[in-house]
Structure 1
Amino acid sequence: MSWFSAVVVYFLIWWVTLFAVLPIGTRPDPEGDIATGGWRGVPQRPQLLRKVVITTVIAALIFAGVHALIVSDWLSFRSGWLALPEN
């Protein structure tokens, strides 16, 4: 895997993981003061920095597994049962 494709794969994993982590631990504001710009669905304390750090750690672990799977011969399109038939 080249470094460019590794960065692209990591970014895609990070982005999907971010959307999986965002709703964890959020509690909406039940009253939601419209005068201050808050609606009822807006979280009281979103803790975005904490969620970005958690997302980065989880995405790094997932990427390590994906990278190990890609560089191994366990899942290969060149040999084995997934290989294309030769002409």
Structure 2
Amino acid sequence: MDYEIAFKEGLPYDCTCPVCDQALRAPIITNCGHNFCKQCLNTDNGPVSCPVCQAEIVPGLIKPDKNKHRQVDGNNCSENQGL
């Protein structure tokens, strides 16, 4: 658990989930362009509103974000790169 806390504290904002405020786990990207942990965005009952921008999220348009997954695993997100 201490590792998770230290890992999260070292992450920039774009590597954390806006729902659980933890490091992204199994990151997904929505049709509105926001990232969440797969388990944090429940679309089992159809479309939902994005917790960030309130846009309608269509379940069929949610995709795994492999680039974000690599960034989180390597703790190499944009703020760490000076972008």
TM-score, scaled relative to structure 1: 0.28
Find the structure with the greater CA-based Rg. 1
TM-score, scaled relative to structure 2: 0.28
Larger strand share, 1 or 2: 2
